[in-house]
Structure 1
């Protein structure tokens, strides 16, 4: 049962306070764990709605015992994902559950740490994403009562509304700007915990190829990304360490990710993390970056046919492949290329491509044509 207190915890008030920045989400999760006498309590505001059984993205976790419950495929999360959004997935005495109790996941993970009762739920947040909430207990503890489950249903409703409020008021201009850039961008705290990320960073983390979330911190193949070590470097002229370039090796892709870690300007920092946050900038060589057709037509006076040809050339990286993809003759392709050279004042295909991808207006485009991380992520998720 809920831990006895003189007054029932005001979970709704705590959730809205967290959304308004008056308290941290971590303290909210700690209050939930205490109230329900939980082994684990988790809140993840935004995860890809993929049903992968993994915690991806920003998450707040209380673990009263170290374990890897939420790493890798998690059948409990899979079960919650298959239910309507907002509906609790309740598994009591899971050792006796005909599906969970006989699974290798239970025998190799949950049984060893004596997890016996769990409540998981996924609720709608942004388009294509879900929020995640869960509470677990040891097998030796009482099952969750009907009253406790009713309180959890109430918590989920308030969580969804609080996260919606936070999205509306929480640095919206910065987040929109992050989404407009052709890079994976993530804000990390001193403990390597991801505080904010854009969609491209989320896709890279979800692909789990070179970068992955382990509980609530970001890891590479070499271990936890050491933000603390970066922040302890000598300060530069700006009062913060100079940006550092990183190579992030991958298992399934031929080329590594390129990354840069830089201190976040003071005015951008979360009020709860003023002592040190960094911006991680990620670039995948498989991503295709180029200005839009309309942009090239406006900046360089290209015709629509020339602009379409240029984008295909950037994608295919060769004149024959670009002309074949557009079903135009080699002569027409060469004529387009000559005209584009004149209008952009470039002299070779490589110079043209480098010129275009360096444009401030360059954007990631048409991921279906790029055999990179996006497709790997989609295939893994499906």
Structure 2
């Protein structure tokens, strides 16, 4: 396969990260690049053996067969069993590892794969962690010749890019669970949110932010790819907030902007463990713009950013006030076990492990300040 074809495949993979509807096209292109006519990418929960994410590309698999696979055939798929012991990016030919006797006795082959006109597979684990495994299978008709070493080398050429795209996709589908917000999470929020670097350059923004930039009275605009204010005397304040949020140690802050439609702008340091920071290799800040008419408190903003329940917000508020879980349980007449369960949920949603880390992360949401 040519370098031009490979560039097309790689571009499709990274486009799919930003536009999930394009995953089927990207998986299909990967399969074709490796010499297949159909392809499947599957992320499986290794403990519960259930499908977390599935893409099947090709005419052999209409929607109903995709559903049948996820609900039943994944549990008996010999490819999945084979891949559990494989190394990441170790591509194998099914004809060398799945013998004719297995095929003849396999419900998966006899009732699912062979009736679709498919018989040969080139497969590998393309990403794996402690709890999940993502596999990729390129398939050929049983009337075609089996996959060979040239197909394997072609698969290796896109394999690492596929892994990176999968990891980026997983980060972006974290939704509202933590302030390491992915692109899909940011887009899902009904408030203007964007991610900027230390120079104010915009790395990601959601639709609400785009609408804000188009409104002359919003007080904000994008200039040469950077966020700035429409009022000259407010530019320095915004630049300083971004500087403070991206230096070490980092500090959050807020300012009021706009004249006809007053709003508050919050600048929040992104955690050093943020996948965005790992990808961009530099300090980043989360910028959140709220309409003053909504009168969001800092705690309410925290709740929206982390998708906290009202009960979790009350526990968070108590912890920020310096109270212990035991003191909170006693004061509000709540069972201590219930508070501990809510605390565990707070740890999970904010990506923290200890109470001190949780308080530090929650405390990063800046208080509302007029003027500065």
Q: TM-score range by the shorter chain?
A: 0.3 to 0.5
Task: Give the TM-score normalised by the residue count of structure 1.
Answer: 0.44
Normalised to the residue count of structure 2, the TM-score between the two structures is 0.45
> Which structure shows the bigger proportion of residues in helix conformation?
2
